[in-house]
A = this chain, B = another copy of it.
């Protein structure tokens, strides 16, 4: 029935102030209000409807995305939205589009790598969308290894131009979002060649299409790279391919903030620190961690609500069956993901602070914290996106058969999310970078250079190598110090153990290669420690609202103890804990699940997602799942007719055994 809240009983069980938790989740009252307003604006506008997306063939899908993107821009202008509001609005439209790359990569690349002059020329055009830009780095043959890119930019001193060229098939640009069908311009990365000499990879602003008729400019071949994972999902994006046949651009379209090419074809370094690029990476990866908490929380919201609606087994005397959320197996799969969503939210918030801190230091020419900040953001990007991708799929499985329906929203959420494990740095490659940083830190211990920031625990290495867990009863695992020390000892010992094994190799690079799988495990342990410790730091803040802090403490316990249980092999192998203590942690974890249970629905309500944004019948706020599933089924194009197209040609001849006459 319309208007009935089928989850009302669940909501009554809540032991904390949901409205205050919404503020905590949003980060501030202001952010909450902006988000709330923008989410509703989008949800109430039929143009932004998205439940038909999975049924559209590629062309219709894409055209519809163009419509939404342009319409969103119109609304942004009409309503004179602030930058913050506009960006929220775009995110609630919840459909990958060329605008993501325009605003998220093209503009920042010019800002970060362009000279003042270049910024003055190009940014106003981009801000008004008089040009649309993409970020064209990856090629068919090279993604992770940017230094291996093959596209060339050869300076021609005669004409004062660069000649951009694709010398091989594998040098074709491949993947840039917005490139395939829309972008008029791109920041193109290419191998700079001056007088026959190579000078590494640089960015160039290249116009790709005519601003008059949208045709590719002479020498340019451009197209879409074709369908990607899932239906709907990322197929709304025109990831593109791009080939250059000796395309000429003026010299001043090389992005020259850091390196300049002079009129006579010499390369000159400016006094701007090269390290600036790391600042940008910290920024981009911080947004990815934020996005991880959002994607994971959406999946968890759907699975949690549906788990409270869904009943299966355990009816006695004709009473209602058990809600599947009451099964401990369901809780042990679901609640750690719920806790992870919160954990990632808070570590993301902290990363935002870190970015500001790094930026200020860079401006003061202080590069001392940069390696640590870089390693930590790389690692957190890798950790949170991997967990989120797996977590979305686990959430889907938690919904049983109905989770497999597109109308559950989970298949599309998964398909659209998973590339986050690959873009902006393949997750394994990133963890190897973290591992390198860890090994360097260990090798420098005692050298008088104390480790800073998230790696500062390594400064207490002697203590961490020797200490033993003091837990005696399950409740001792609620003590933050006990948990923190456990994660620190585990991370430190795994790093040291790798370093010791490494030292046995005469060639350190060979050793690193041979041990890389173990090194990745040590890096994961380090990153999990960061998340745990930032969650504890959050709890040291003043958090208003009845019962809010209490709930977060429970979630923090779930987050850390489920990791301890899952990775108990690490903790046991380093002999920090005993089997008995591991078992006590597990007992405590089970107890914490019981504490989460009555608050589960409210904890996902606190995300404040509209039904539109969630895009899931199983996750709808009122829990009225079954009638909505039933109605949605009828909207499938296959149900346009009772007798399917193909009956006369294929089914009937089959049944009537007239296959010879059938046109096949």
Residues of A within 8 A of B (CB): 47, 54-60, 62-63, 66-67, 69-71, 73-74, 77, 128-132, 138, 140-145, 148, 169-170, 172, 174-175, 180-182, 184, 211, 213-216, 223-231, 234-235, 238, 241, 311-313, 315, 321, 327-333, 389-390, 393, 396-397, 400-401, 403-407, 411, 415, 418-419, 421-423, 426-428, 432, 513-518, 520, 567-575, 579, 582-583, 586, 590, 626-627, 629-630, 632-640, 642-647, 649-655, 657, 659, 662, 664
Contact = CB atoms under 8 A, between A and B. Distances in A.
Nearest to A625: B140
Nearest to A654: B70
Given A231-B230, A633-B226, A642-B215, A312 B144 contact: yes
Contacts of A315: 148
Main secondary structure of the interface of A (DSSP, over half): helix
Contacts of A231: 227, 230-231, 235
Contacts of A54: 227
A63 B657 contact: no
A312 to B, nearest CB: 5
Contacts of A57: 55-57, 60, 637
Nearest to A181: B644
Given A129-B654, A227-B231, A642-B215, A659 B74 contact: yes
B411 A229 contact: yes
Copies of the polypeptide in the assembly: 2
Nearest to A634: B223
A106 to B, nearest CB: 14
B567 A573 contact: no
Contacts of A211: 655
A422 B406 contact: no
A73 B660 CA distance: 11
B224 A633 contact: yes
Given A223-B639, A226-B407, A655-B131, A142 B312 contact: yes
A214 B647 contact: yes
Nearest to A53: B227
B633 A328 contact: no
Given A572-B573, A572-B579, A426 B400 contact: yes
A418 to B, nearest CB: 7
A608 B650 CA distance: 32
A86 to B, nearest CB: 14
A227 B405 contact: yes
A184 to B, nearest CB: 7
Nearest to A647: B214
A564 to B, nearest CB: 10
Contacts of A397: 418, 421-422, 427
A429 to B, nearest CB: 9
A131 B231 CA distance: 33
Nearest to A216: B642
A121 to B, nearest CB: 17
Those 5 A-B pairs whose CB atoms lie nearest each other, nearest first: A569-B569, A568-B569, A332-B517, A229-B411, A57-B57
A193 to B, nearest CB: 15
Nearest to A229: B411
Given A141-B626, A181-B638, A229-B230, 18 more contacts: A58-B637, A63-B646, A66-B647, A70-B653, A131-B655, A144-B312, A148-B312, A169-B626, A184-B655, A223-B636, A226-B407, A227-B406, A228-B411, A234-B404, A393-B418, A401-B419, A401-B422, A572-B579
Contacts of A630: 140, 169, 172, 241
Contacts of A327: 513, 516
A329 B227 contact: no
B73 A654 contact: yes
A47 B650 contact: no
Nearest to A660: B74
A654 B71 CA distance: 9
A655 B513 CA distance: 50
A494 to B, nearest CB: 11
A469 to B, nearest CB: 14
A70 B223 contact: no
A462 B566 CA distance: 28
Given A638-B181, A651-B70, A657-B128, A329 B428 contact: yes
A228 B404 contact: yes
A230 B230 contact: yes
Nearest to A405: B228
A645 B418 contact: no
B312 A145 contact: yes
A582 B568 CA distance: 13
Contacts of A516: 327-329
